[in-house]
Amino acid sequence: MARAPGSSTLSRAIGRAGAAVGAIDAKTPPSRDRAIDGLRAMALLAVPTGHWLLGGFTLGADGALRNASPLSAFGSLAPISWLLQMLGVFFLVGGYASALSYRRTRQRGGSAADWLRQRLARLGRPVLGVTAVWAVLIPVLTAAGIPETTLRTGSTLVVQPLWFVGVYAVITALTPLCIRAAERLGAWAAAPLIGSVAVVDFLRYGPYAEAMPSSLSLLNLLPGWMFAYQLGVCWSQARLGRRGAWVLLGGGVALFVALLAVFHYPASMVGVPGAERTNSHPPSLLVLALAAAQCGAAMLLRDRIGRALRRPGLWAPVVVINLSAMTILCWHQTAMLAAAVPASLFGTVTGLVGAPESVGWIGARLAWIPVFALLLVVVGRWTRGFESPWAGTGRTRRAVAGLLAAGFAAFALGLA
């Protein structure tokens, strides 16, 4: 029987994919903790999924895009943000991996400064890359007739995930202190962090709220995200076991319910345009309650996740996602904008450009998410190099990239 015209090509493609999956599995060292990589990949994918699902655009009479959210019209969607806000798991895994990496570096005779320099370079290169590229895109898109309001909206979205990188870098620099705290106090090293957030929340939301400056919330920025990171450090040193994980899971759920039902915290884990209070910028006690529950669940499920990822077909995507972690964080908003900005030139497009105020918009946005993912893959093929060491880049080019990044930051923050 004659084969269908494309069947041989499809068979070859499937064969190459199978060979690549097998090669990835074969090259993975037996000592690799697949569960930790799996948890990191899951937390990473939650970031673009959340932004793509819960972020939208309105189209003004001037043809410009402005940020909007379906949560403004559909408050019942807030529980989705509980599932997609997985930064607690990301910081947990980050603390776990950083503590092990730091210990190995010290055992090999490396200094803390060398270890930190390498870590910060891995975080900084992709951030410098995306901001420098956008600094070039701004005048090009302006010359092409894209409204300035649209460009400022896009810049805000690009910067949105980068604050997280900055906070993560600061916390990474504190890893030696976290290790010493874990050695002395065990899992209790995280208690002062959640305690300080509780105190700040009491001051800014309690009976003395009107007398408190709005800047008081910034005190939650570091301890709020460092909480899960410290748990990860304790976990890596076997100072936090299954009993502690059950305490985190049960206590986190109980505190989460109490804060919602009794203290009336906002239900959404992400900011809602027009809302008076937000949980994530900076993190409130509700975010830490969710992080505690998620961290406890992650620890309890570690062995099951590790066994599942022994399957090459599941393990290969996890490896690819982890190798492209910073590319995903830095460029996923650009991928969405790559679809929305051109579409805005033709008017309203359901699920992409237009007020997210109908059930139809939600269905259409779900259909657009695979398109955003494909665009991210396309963009990532070109930008993935920013994650690699810039060995062939001289000081002049690095200085130019730095100046471009500073210029974009000034534009995005409204300083230019």
pLDDT for 246: 98
Mean pLDDT of the chain: 91
pLDDT for 4: 54
Q: Look at the block and give the residue holding tokens 């655009």.
A: 57
pLDDT for 37: 96
Token pair in block for residue 3: 């084969």
Residue 56 makes CB contacts below 8 A (sequence gap 6+) with 67, 68, 69, 70, 354, 355, 356, 361, 365
CA triplet 269, 274, 277: central angle to 5 degrees? Answer: 45
Predicted confidence band of residue 219 (pLDDT cuts 50, 70, 90): very high
pLDDT for 57: 94
pLDDT for 266: 92
Radius of gyration from C-alpha coordinates of the chain = 23
pLDDT for 31: 87
**Quick check: 129 and 330 in contact, CB under 8 A?**
yes
pLDDT for 240-266, tens place per residue? 999 999 999 999 999 999 999 999 999
Q: What is the DSSP string of 139-185?
A: HHHHHTT--HHHHHHHHHHHHTTHHHHHHHHHHHHTHHHHHHHHHHH
Residue 54's nearest CA partner among 69, 43, 76, 75 is 69
Is residue 3 helix, strand or coil?
coil
* Weakest mean pLDDT among 21-30, 386-395, 406-415: 386-395
**Quick check: 162 and 125 in contact, CB under 8 A?**
no
pLDDT for 304: 97
Please say whether the dihedral angle defined by the alpha carbons of residues 293, 295, 299 and 303, taken in this order, is positive or negative.
positive
Q: Is the pLDDT score of 334 beyond 70? A: yes
Q: Is the pLDDT score of 140 beyond 60? A: yes
Residue 41 makes CB contacts below 8 A (sequence gap 6+) with 317, 318, 321, 322
Is residue 27 helix, strand or coil?
helix
> Helices 112-143 and 87-107 sit at what angle, rounded to 10 degrees?
140
pLDDT for 254: 98
Residue 253 makes CB contacts below 8 A (sequence gap 6+) with 289, 293
Q: Is the pLDDT score of 392 beyond 80? A: no
* Weakest mean pLDDT among 6-15, 45-54, 117-126: 6-15
pLDDT for 201-210, tens place per residue? 999 999 989 9
Q: Average pLDDT, stretch 114-128?
A: 92
Answer with the residue of higher pLDDT: 277 or 394.
277
Q: Average pLDDT, stretch 181-199?
A: 96
Residue 83 makes CB contacts below 8 A (sequence gap 6+) with 46
Q: Is the pLDDT score of 192 beyond 60? A: yes
Q: Is the pLDDT score of 7 beyond 70? A: no
Predicted confidence band of residue 132 (pLDDT cuts 50, 70, 90): very high
Token pair in block for residue 62: 């001037």
* Weakest mean pLDDT among 71-80, 92-101, 252-261, 316-325: 71-80
Residue 176's nearest CA partner among 91, 105, 272 is 105
Token pair in block for residue 53: 């699902």
Residue type, 135: A
Share of the chain above pLDDT 70, in %: 97
Answer with the residue of higher pLDDT: 273 or 307.
307
Q: How many residues does the chain have?
A: 416
Answer with the residue of higher pLDDT: 6 or 46.
46
Q: Is the pLDDT score of 12 beyond 90? A: no
